Amino acid sequence: MSALDDAMRDAAASGIRFDHVPANGLNMHYARVGQGAPLVLLHGWPEFWMVYRPLMDLLKNDFELIVPDLRGCGFTGKPTSGPDANANAATHAEDIAEFTRRLGLDRFGMVGGDLGAYVLQAFSQAHGDRLKGAFYFCTPYPGLGSRYGQPDHLIEVWYQYFQQLPWAAKLVGASRESCRLYMSHFLDHWSGDNPEVFADMIEIYVDMFMRNDNIQGGFDWYLSSAANRRKWLEGTLPPPPRITVPSRFLWGRRDPLIRPEWSDRLGDYFADFSIDFADAGHFVHREAPAVCAREIKAFFGGR
């Protein structure tokens, strides 16, 4: 029995339910638990639904939590084998739009970080009338601009180019050890170089990434978003309409990937927002779940 099998069994024993729903050409897997107003949680990369387990335990008495594995990730998988350049934010947003309709959800709250924050922005643009509010962790957004590719930051974003190469997934997945070494770098470094944050999860992550073409599935996001990312850096990306969905941001003060000072242009892209900072790195939801739970309850409590 693998570490992933054990973790799934433990989650089921705690009351978390699992199912699949057909949506936008995918068989989307999701976890569900709790009671109250529905709240959809979107993970980032390199993650799947289980990264939210500590936060789910803290929120399940206040919300009905629905946590899908995004396109190419977790137990959801990919619609095609090999690299897929059709996994951009708009496609992910339509995945979630159909997924939530299939579940009978009309209006709900949504939480996202990293890749999930990209998807949440795209969903807010296309389906904002369905959202009671949007809660973001450490958010990549167009206001990062050329700063994201400045020379002293290239050491943090090299992987976004490597992962576009057609053989990258095969190299990372050549063995469990190569997969563990690669994924551990991001999990540990982005957590403020603290290997304890994901110490109990790393074998679970290796199990998950070594199945279901999941390494390539995650890399597909970087392949699909490359053109827009280049336009960000060049300053040629047309500005999108400002998002009007009420939005709350919780940013890690020690995030090395998306620096907290780069939140300074949120007002150019979000019409109704507030922001606070947590003593954490990139994975605020994993590093400081109690802080996140308090903030989420406060933000969605009256909506």
Choose among 136, 156, 143: nearest CA to 233.
143
Instruction: Give the span between the Cα atoms of 211 and 69, in whole angstroms.
Output: 14
Q: How confident is the model at residue 127 (pLDDT cuts 50, 70, 90)?
A: very high
Contact residues for 106 (Cβ-Cβ < 8 A; gap 6+): 130
Q: Stretch 215-239: mean pLDDT, rounded?
A: 92
Quote the Cα angle for 28-32-38, to 5°.
100
Burial class (CB in 10 A: 0-12, 13-18, 19+), 164: middle
What is the number of domains present in the chain?
1
The least confident of 10-14, 90-94, 110-114, 224-228 is 224-228
25: which 2 tokens?
């050409």
Q: Stretch 267-276: mean pLDDT, rounded?
A: 98
- For residue 26, give the 3-state DSSP assignment: strand
In this prediction, residue 78 carries a pLDDT of: 83
Choose among 272, 273, 268, 262: nearest CA to 239.
268
The domain of 128 spans 3-300
In this prediction, residue 212 carries a pLDDT of: 87
Q: What is the pLDDT of residues 77-112, one digit of tens each?
A: 788 878 888 999 999 999 999 999 999 999 999 999
CATH number at residue 141: 3.40.50.1820
Quote the Cα angle for 300-221-52, to 5°.
35
| Alpha helix ranges (H) inside 141-201 | 154-157, 159-162, 168-172, 176-189
Q: Are 194 and 186 in contact (CB under 8 A)?
A: no
The residues assigned a catalytic role are 114, 222, 282
Q: What is the pLDDT of residues 57-81, one digit of tens each?
A: 999 999 999 999 999 999 997 888 7
- For residue 62, give the 3-state DSSP assignment: coil
In this prediction, residue 21 carries a pLDDT of: 97
The two beta strands, 108-113 and 37-42, are parallel
In this prediction, residue 264 carries a pLDDT of: 98
Contact residues for 259 (Cβ-Cβ < 8 A; gap 6+): none
Residue 8 predicted with pLDDT over 80: yes
In this prediction, residue 194 carries a pLDDT of: 94
253: which 2 tokens?
């003060």
Choose among 182, 193, 202, 214: nearest CA to 257.
193
Give the residue, 85 or 54, on which the prediction is more confident: 54
- For residue 131, give the 3-state DSSP assignment: strand
Q: Stretch 10-22: mean pLDDT, rounded?
A: 98
Number of other residues whose CB lies within 10 A of the CB of residue 210: 18
Q: What is the pLDDT of residues 131-177, one digit of tens each?
A: 999 999 999 999 999 999 999 999 999 999 999 999 999 999 999 99
Q: Stretch 4-24: mean pLDDT, rounded?
A: 98
Which residue type, as a one-letter code, is found at position 33?
A: V
Q: What is the mean pLDDT of the chain?
A: 96
